[in-house]
């Protein structure tokens, strides 16, 4: 028989669970504040009367009175009105919470967004110090999601020359040999001038490219002569006229710079796709405003969409125009994968017009940024793996994959990260936050406040002065070199002659405690040319049918069913689409 519950008042004090909040905090209020202030004033006055040199102690109760009365008088924060002075401790605790968590609470493998192990690896390699791991892996190799590389019994030794990719060989007068690992898009304005200079000098030392980000081409990008990929976003910074629209004349002038090796049209970015860039007003200095051609004192909000073109066909015509205006330099575009139909529309336009970009850069929804709305960072855009596989498969299905270089960007800090991207479809990769760690970023998470303590993501001259360009440039070059070396060692361990031979069959992922699968089975590759031939696999059939080369807006599948069948004369296409329509409408059972 269950004994009756004991009344709360009969429970002994030492047998009660500890209070979540100390009792004196809950009992604090306006009355206790006044009583405490009076007591402190009396004590300080008594001390001053007893010994005049102690008179400065009266400043303490005076400050206590001022803070408390001010807290009770203000109307914005209820916690301060109800708990004068003491309520300020909450704000203080919240302000130091990220630092306390990072240094004392989080584990070595807890990614928020980068783990201590990931950050430490970058620091060690950038400083060119010991980066080996003692006593074996700390990872739980039986945890769902764990991945490994299948090695070979005949390892090889790929040379450094295999870690480069030629971009624009087919269509450009000035093709570019790119490193397999580069600096991803980060704008001057979001980053400090010292950070931009250090990154570019590091790119010069290491022989890899530096993407400007959409903020324009600044003097700091050109100072050290490192290879530049100039990103042209919706704001057309460094390529805009007085009306804020694209200016062919300004673009051609800046694109002629010898350091500018490639051009990138930014359609969207992973951290805030379909939103447009954000540069907080606090970072818009007079120099930033002059370079971008925008007013000071206001947030710089890039439009979410381009005004220089519309639709897939217009995008490809714009790419071809930029290639011509730049004197034949490689031109590509960057996007975070959203609606698959829109990307397939671009690929359809490639097939119909014969106009191809020299490269496509895929950004993941996990990508970083200096400032973005929480909803966009957390919940908009496909993660890198899904986006990259879709881009790779669509180009394979269109029989265009061998004519377009694929770049990827998203959380690369190690050789394995780099190898993973290359194995699932990329030809080369970019890293932003990894390179920031090489500059000395400590993941303080203050990028949007202009208070970056290490001078990387701020325009505060006092903080920027602490970043030594020459020292950090060497660290950036070291990080690049040792990461690429690590990649080549992994490629050799797989028994391959070059990174170009990597494929998803080599990667194994644990999908449960007792089951593993090659990544190639989780993300299968389509047959070469199947989309161009009108024989898409079932999972792509509906998207391909809805895609249009003339506009991004998806067309209704029902209206396209007969049209597609007639245009292609392919019964198999009609069968696949009909089956897909039945499944989606609930007419056929799904498994």
Closest CA to 381 of 326, 339, 353, 419: 339
CA of 138: how far to CAs of 112, 117, 483, 523, 586, in Å?
A: 18, 10, 20, 28, 47
Instruction: Return per-residue pLDDT of the chain as tens, 591 residues.
Output: 566 666 666 666 655 555 555 666 778 888 999 999 999 999 999 999 999 999 899 999 999 999 999 999 998 888 888 889 988 888 788 777 777 777 777 666 776 788 889 999 999 999 999 998 888 898 999 999 999 999 999 999 999 999 999 999 999 999 999 999 999 999 998 899 999 999 999 999 999 999 999 999 999 999 999 999 999 999 999 998 888 899 999 999 999 999 999 999 999 987 777 776 677 777 788 888 787 877 777 777 778 889 999 999 999 999 999 999 999 999 999 999 999 999 999 999 999 999 999 999 999 988 777 777 778 778 888 999 999 999 999 999 999 999 999 999 988 999 999 999 999 999 999 999 999 999 999 888 888 888 899 999 999 999 999 999 999 999 999 999 999 999 999 999 999 999 999 999 999 999 999 999 999 999 999 999 999 999 999 989 999 999 999 999 887 655 555 454 444 445 565 566 566 555 544 444 333
Residue pair 208/178 in contact by the 8 Å Cβ criterion:
yes
**Regarding beta strands 516-518 and 228-232, do their DSSP bridges make them parallel or antiparallel, or are they unpaired?**
unpaired
3-state secondary structure 176-220: EEEECEEECCCCECCECHHHHHHHHHHHHHHCCCEECCCCCCCHH
**252 CB-contact burial (10 Å; exposed 0-12 / middle 13-18 / buried 19+):** middle
Q: What is the token pair recorded at 555?
A: 């067309």
Spatial distance between the Cα atoms of 481 and 144, rounded to a whole number of angstroms: 32
The Cα 270–Cα 441 span in angstroms is: 20
Give kind and range of the element (H or E) at residue 361: strand 359-363
Provide the 3-class DSSP secondary structure of residue 17.
Answer: coil
CB 153 within 8 A of CB 256: no
Q: What number of other Cβ atoms are within 10 A of residue 380's Cβ?
A: 19
User: Cβ contacts of residue 496 below 8 Å, gap of 6+?
Assistant: 152, 156, 158, 502
d(CA 323, CA 317) in angstroms, rounded, equals 10
Q: What pLDDT was estimated at residue 585?
A: 45
Close Cβ partners of 83 (under 8 Å, ≥ 6 residues apart): 25, 28, 29
For residue 587, the tally of other CB atoms under 10 A from its CB is 10
* DSSP secondary structure, 246-259, as one string: B-HHHHHHHHTSTT
pTM over 0.75: yes
Angle at 332 (CA atoms; ends 166, 168), nearest 5 degrees: 30
524 close to 391: Cβ distance less than 8 angstroms? no
Determine contact, residues 429/421, Cβ cutoff 8 Å: yes
Neighbouring-strand partners of residue 228: 210, 260
For residue 403, the 8-state DSSP code is G
Q: How far is CA 93 from the centre of its chain?
A: 28
What b/e readout covers 86-114, taking b as 16+ CB neighbours within 10 angstroms?
Answer: bbbeeeeeeeeeeeeebeeeeeeeeeeeb
Q: What pLDDT shows up at residue 588?
A: 40
Neighbours of 145 (CB within 10 A): 8
Task: Please give the Cα distance from 132 to 65 (Å, whole number).
Answer: 57
Task: Take residue 447 and report the two structure tokens written for it.
Answer: 């990028």
Q: How confident is the model at residue 290, as a pLDDT?
A: 80
For the chain, what are the domain ranges? 22-95, 532-585
Tokens of 495: 């028994």
- For tokens 């017009």, name the residue: 353
Round to whole Å and give the CA distance between 287 and 138.
Answer: 47
* Rg, C-alpha atoms of the chain: 29
- How far apart, in whole angstroms, are the C-alpha atoms of residue 359 and residue 343? 14
Please provide residue 427's backbone torsions phi and psi, each rounded to the nearest 5 degrees.
-95, -30
The SS3 call for residue 350 is helix
- The whole-number pLDDT of residue 423 equals 97
CA-to-CA dists, residue 61 to 27, 77, 81, 235, 257, angstroms:
21, 23, 19, 54, 65
Enumerate residues 6+ apart whose C-beta is below 8 A from 513.
142, 144
């Amino acid at each position: 028989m269950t004994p009756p519950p004991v009344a709360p008042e009969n429970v002994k004090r030492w047998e009660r669970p500890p209070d979540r909040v100390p009792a004196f905090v809950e009992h604090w209020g306006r009355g206790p504040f006044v009583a405490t202030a009076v007591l402190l004033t009396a004590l300080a006055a008594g001390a001053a009367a007893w010994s005049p040199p102690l008179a400065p102690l009266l400043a303490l109760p005076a400050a206590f009175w001022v803070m408390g009365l001010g807290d009770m008088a203000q109307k914005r924060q209820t916690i301060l009105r109800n708990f004068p002075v003491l309520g300020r401790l909450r704000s203080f605790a919240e302000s130091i919470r990220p630092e306390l968590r990072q240094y004392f609470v989080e584990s070595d493998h807890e990614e928020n967004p980068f783990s201590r192990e990931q950050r430490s690896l970058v620091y060690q390699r950038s400083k060119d110090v010991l980066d080996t791991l003692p006593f074996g892996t700390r990872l739980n190799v039986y945890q769902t999601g764990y991945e490994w590389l299948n090695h070979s019994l005949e390892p090889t030794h790929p040379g450094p020359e295999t870690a480069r990719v030629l971009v624009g060989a087919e269509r450009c007068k000035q093709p570019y040999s790119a490193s397999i690992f580069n600096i991803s898009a980060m704008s001057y304005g979001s980053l400090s001038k010292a950070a931009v200079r250090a990154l570019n000098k590091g790119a010069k030392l290491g022989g890899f490219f530096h993407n400007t980000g959409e903020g324009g081409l600044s003097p700091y990008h050109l100072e050290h002569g490192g290879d530049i990929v100039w990103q042209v976003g919706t704001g057309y910074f460094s390529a805009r006229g007085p009306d804020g629209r694209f200016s062919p004349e300004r673009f051609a002038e800046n694109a002629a710079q010898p350091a500018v090796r490639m051009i990138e049209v930014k359609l969207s970015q992973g951290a805030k796709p379909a939103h447009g860039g954000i540069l907080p007003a606090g970072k818009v200095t007079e120099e930033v405003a002059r370079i971008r051609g925008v007013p000071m004192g206001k947030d710089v909000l890039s439009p979410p969409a381009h005004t220089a073109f519309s639709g897939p066909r217009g995008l490809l015509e714009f790419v071809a125009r930029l290639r011509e205006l730049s004197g034949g330099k490689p031109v590509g575009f960057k996007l975070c994968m959203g609606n698959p139909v829109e990307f397939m529309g671009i690929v359809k336009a490639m097939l119909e017009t014969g106009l191809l970009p020299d490269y496509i850069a895929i950004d993941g929804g996990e990508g970083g940024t200096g400032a973005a709305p929480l909803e966009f960072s957390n919940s908009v855009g496909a993660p890198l793996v899904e986006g990259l596989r879709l881009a790779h498969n669509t180009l394979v299905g269109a029989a265009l994959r061998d004519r377009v270089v694929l770049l990827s960007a998203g959380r690369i800090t190690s050789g394995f990260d780099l190898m993973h991207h290359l194995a699932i479809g990329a030809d080369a990769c970019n890293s932003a936050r990894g390179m920031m760690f090489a500059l000395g970023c400590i993941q303080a998470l203050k990028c949007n406040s202009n208070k970056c303590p290490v001078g990387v993501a701020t325009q505060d001259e006092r903080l920027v002065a602490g970043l030594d360009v020459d020292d950090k440039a060497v660290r950036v070059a070291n990080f690049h070199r040792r990461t690429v070396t690590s990649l080549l060692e992994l490629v050799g361990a797989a028994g391959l002659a070059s990174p170009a031979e990597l494929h998803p069959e080599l990667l194994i992922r644990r999908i449960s405690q007792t089951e593993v699968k090659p990544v190639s089975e989780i993300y299968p590759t389509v047959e070469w040319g199947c989309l161009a031939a009108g024989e898409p696999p079932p999972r792509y059939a509906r998207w391909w049918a809805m895609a249009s080369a003339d506009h991004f807006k998806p067309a209704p599948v029902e209206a396209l069913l007969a049209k597609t069948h007639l245009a292609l004369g392919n019964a198999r296409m009609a069968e696949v689409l009909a089956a897909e329509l039945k499944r989606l409408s609930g007419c056929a059972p799904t498994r």
